[in-house]
Structure 1
Amino acid sequence: MESNNSIVSGFDSDKDDSLKITLHKIPGVQNGCMVVLDGYIDTYNSSFFQKQLTKVIGAGYFNLLFNCGGLSYVSSTGLGSFTILLKMVKVKGGDIILSEVQEKVAEVFQILGFSQFFNLKDTTEEALEYLRHDEGSAPGPVFPKMLVCPSCGKNIQAAHAGRFRCTNCKAIITISEAGAITLG
């Protein structure tokens, strides 16, 4: 059995008693890593969570499956960390799938409107099947797509390709059919 450190060098050098993170490579999924969460993510440990997962992404894993069966609570700050991680993997062509999400955790995602950005699956097997199927299939629909303004960094949700004006900095942004974003 692989240890966290054999998957991501130095991963276990930092620990937090409120959140245990266990890593597993996903056979058959390029750049795939299953992240098993046990504990909770709140204001006090969300920076630890985000730092640890940044190590995982930095090690080349950007198709992430979070097994949330042992995750008992996520605060809005924790959701913010998940969102930052989603942005990090999306720019690399990856994705985040959450499986076995407990009802009260799923409610937080839904109430705060985050369930539209994250792919939640009932079982880990269903999530693995989704990731493995996605590997060999043709690219799915690009839109709707969550993007970041290259000028100011504001989140933009695009329903289709075209030219848009950022509501924050007023920069003109062009989004290609493939979902690439450029200024002008």
Structure 2
Amino acid sequence: MSNDSIVQGFDLEKDDSLKINLHVRDEALVLYLTGYIDTYNSNLFQKRIVKAVNAGFNKLIFQCGGLNYVSSTGIGSFTAFLKLVKGKNGDLVLIDVQPKVFEVFQLLGFSKFFNIKRNLDEAIEFFSNTGSSAAEKTIFPKIFKCPICSKKLKASKSGRFRCSECKTILAIDKTGQVFLG
């Protein structure tokens, strides 16, 4: 199935620096990203994604396995998409985020705003469960101490983040268990 058969006119404008392939899974639009997002191509990236949202997709899954660089402008694009789909009772999930791309999200403090999952099945499950289970809602927000520096931290949901004091990368699972990395 071609991109244009999923979102009419999606491929009218393209950029070789960022390839986007569309796939529909359940009620979500999966966007396979290959290349990079920077100041020069972020405007076209935004236009194409807005076209998909305007076509009725408010559950977006960005498959980032082939995304090798995202600038702060690119992060701004993802933030704009999140605001756009939240306004339409939707959400977005990032999956298979490469470590150096994830680090940009963390360094800029945006990793806590995005739903970042390991794979497509977890992303689909996220949308099936409307974001979190009843058990997770009773655990979060969770206050705990950083295992490295003992700084008191608060996690509003499961995921990965960076300690504000020692900058250690931490992960917290749905049960509230804290891990390094």
Please tell me the root mean square deviation across aligned C-alpha atoms, in Å: 2.2
Q: Any idea what SS the aligned residue of 1:115 has?
A: coil
Aligned position for 1:65: 61
Once residues 124 and 32 of structure 2 are traced to their aligned partners in structure 1, the CA distance between those partners, rounded to angstroms, is 13
TM-aligned CA deviation for residue 133 of structure 1: 2.8
Q: Does 1:126 align with 2:122?
A: yes
Q: Does 1:87 align with 2:89?
A: no
TM-aligned CA deviation for residue 132 of structure 1: 2.3
The one-letter code of the counterpart of 1:128 is I
Once residues 107 and 82 of structure 1 are traced to their aligned partners in structure 2, the CA distance between those partners, rounded to angstroms, is 15
Q: Deviations over 1:129-163 (max 9, x none)?
A: 2222328x88x96x99xxxxxxxxxxxxxx9xxxx
**Aligned positions, number:** 139
Q: Deviations over 1:84-105 (max 9, x none)?
A: 1110000111001000000000
Aligned position for 1:100: 96
Identity %: 57
TM-aligned CA deviation for residue 53 of structure 1: 0.1
Aligned position for 1:19: 18
The one-letter code of the counterpart of 2:34 is D
The one-letter code of the counterpart of 1:5 is D
**TM-score (structure 2 length as normaliser):** 0.71
Q: Does 1:117 align with 2:113?
A: yes
Q: Deviations over 1:54-104 (max 9, x none)?
A: 000000001000000000000000000111111000011100100000000
Aligned position for 1:56: 52
**TM-score (structure 1 length as normaliser):** 0.70
* Runs of 5+ unmatched residues, structure 1: 145-158, 160-184
Once residues 133 and 91 of structure 1 are traced to their aligned partners in structure 2, the CA distance between those partners, rounded to angstroms, is 19
* Runs of 5+ unmatched residues, structure 2: 142-155, 157-181
Once residues 24 and 133 of structure 1 are traced to their aligned partners in structure 2, the CA distance between those partners, rounded to angstroms, is 21
The one-letter code of the counterpart of 1:24 is H
Once residues 120 and 102 of structure 2 are traced to their aligned partners in structure 1, the CA distance between those partners, rounded to angstroms, is 15
Aligned position for 1:9: 8
